[in-house]
Amino acid sequence: MSAMDERMEGERGRVRITGLKAMELRNSTGQSLVRVETDSGLFGVGEAGVAGPACRANLQWLESVLIGADPLNIDKLYHQMMGLQHFYQAHVPTISGVDIALWDLAGKILGLSVSQMLTGRFRDRVEIYYGGRVPNWNDRAAIDDWVAKLRAHPHGYRTVKVDFQLPDDALLARPFEQLMPSQSLKQSDLKVMRDGFATFRDALGWDLDFIVHCHNEWDVPSATGICQAVEEARPLWVEDPLQVFFSDGYKGLRAASPVPICTGEKLEGFREFFPFITEGGIDVLHPDLVWCGGISGGRKIAELAEHYGIPVALHNCGTLVHNMANIHFGACVRNFSMSETRLYERPYIAEMGGLDGFDMVDGKIAVPDGPGLGIELVTEVLRAELKEGEPFWQ
């Protein structure tokens, strides 16, 4: 038995879960903070991929599993939560937040960081990237200015994820509406896209990388055309080109695409990821820890992906809690690539941890060494950023 296992066994049965709470902050993309409280006074904090009212409602359904339980039995509790079927099926985004909180809590009980508890660290720094919308493809000066600001960013990002803009007079098969799946592009649209990404790559240079960001909007012929249009600009991958759930369309697209295909941010649990991995639908897996089952669920998915030689990148539009969960996950998962972040655009994310800045070198952030997620949330910041109408930790 390892020293950590001995420490774990020595603490089992000493702490019990007494309460589950949640609240939603402003500008948190519909996610909520989750708090798991215990009779020892220690608590863990996680982040769930669901708004405050829905999260609190689902936490009530989880009380029968969690209240009175030993928080160190994380794997057991994960399977019990995920196995719920009657009267309601398991709500994976809420379970994800609880799971992250349980890992934070376990680390505080044992005095170890999450990544130390999981596997030890494969890396001490984790690459993060950010996303944005490039200016009008026809305005080279604006694009050059955009790239200059990227290069000047103090975090030193080496990768950026970009949306693309179609011209106002784009002749689509039907009017373009973002987040409306299965829309069609014409060759005239794809020519604009090809020229635009060629200009962007020329401005960006070849020492930085980029990702093409779709939103699960396109039909298979259009997605294939997008991948062909951006080929010469050499993106790392094209993200979410088709509808969310698995179909043979993903396999067809991957076979036809000259660039890698990536998806997964809105998939829940192991079962929804399984066909993408085992049936050859993607090149890069892209789970979101606050949707896929937390750290426990994410690790199970990543282990299967590793068996198939598929790298894992993490989606992230959340707060400091989400960011730190991703960083610990990235440290301890061998086939991990990089994580998205919103640190650059939301100052409160750093402020909620009392952090003046991060230890960042060339877009890579140092993994925290403190217990659990390695952060202590600042009450004053949380209250100031609380979404209107939300209770404080209820």
CATH number (domain holding residue 267): 3.20.20.120
Q: Kindly state whether residue 146 falls inside one of the protein's structural domains.
A: yes
* Same-domain check for residues 92 and 173: no
Per-residue pLDDT of the chain (394 residues; tens, 9 = 90+): 455 666 767 777 789 999 999 999 998 889 999 999 999 999 999 999 999 999 999 999 999 999 999 999 999 999 999 998 877 789 999 999 999 999 999 999 999 999 999 888 999 999 999 888 887 777 899 999 999 999 999 999 999 999 877 666 665 555 556 556 567 888 988 998 899 999 999 999 999 999 999 988 889 999 999 999 999 999 999 999 999 999 999 999 999 999 999 999 999 999 999 999 999 999 999 999 999 999 999 999 999 999 999 999 999 999 999 999 999 999 999 999 999 999 888 889 999 998 766 788 999 999 999 999 999 999 999 999 999 999 999 8
Domain count, the chain: 2
* Same-domain check for residues 122 and 107: no
Q: Kindly state whether residue 258 falls inside one of the protein's structural domains.
A: yes
Q: Kindly state whether residue 389 falls inside one of the protein's structural domains.
A: no
- Beta strands 125-133; 159-163: pairing state: parallel
d(CA 117, CA 106): 9
pLDDT of residue 182: 65
Treating both helix axes as pointing N-terminal to C-terminal, what angle do 92-110 and 320-332 enclose, rounded to 10 degrees?
70
pLDDT of residue 87: 75
d(CA 186, CA 28): 35
* Same-domain check for residues 210 and 268: yes
* Same-domain check for residues 243 and 289: yes
pLDDT of residue 244: 93
* Same-domain check for residues 260 and 351: yes
Q: Kindly state whether residue 336 falls inside one of the protein's structural domains.
A: yes
Residue 386: closest CA among 53, 7, 25, 15: 25
* Same-domain check for residues 135 and 61: no
Which residue, 75, 97, 112, sits at the end of a domain? 112
Which residue, 69, 94, 112, sits at the end of a domain? 112
* Same-domain check for residues 72 and 164: no
Q: Kindly state whether residue 251 falls inside one of the protein's structural domains.
A: yes
Q: What is the CATH number of the domain that holds 8?
A: 3.30.390.10
* Same-domain check for residues 68 and 211: no
Residue 143: closest CA among 224, 248, 233, 276: 233
In tens, the pLDDT along 145-169 reads 999 999 999 999 999 999 877 666 6
Asked if residue 368 lies in contact with residue 323, where contact means CB atoms within 8 angstroms, the answer is no
* Same-domain check for residues 181 and 291: yes
Rg of the chain on CA atoms, in Å: 21
Q: Kindly state whether residue 393 falls inside one of the protein's structural domains.
A: no
* Same-domain check for residues 260 and 201: yes
pLDDT of residue 171: 56
Q: Kindly state whether residue 265 falls inside one of the protein's structural domains.
A: yes
DSSP 356: S
SS3 category, 351: helix
pLDDT of residue 392: 96
* Same-domain check for residues 167 and 307: yes
Q: What are phi and psi of 365, to 5 degrees?
A: -105, 140
Which domain, by its residues, includes 232?
117-369
Q: Kindly state whether residue 180 falls inside one of the protein's structural domains.
A: yes
- pTM of the predicted structure, to 2 decimals: 0.94
pLDDT of residue 84: 84
The length of the chain is: 394
* Same-domain check for residues 101 and 179: no
Q: What are phi and psi of 126, to 5 degrees?
A: -120, 130
Which residue, 112, 144, 177, sits at the end of a domain? 112
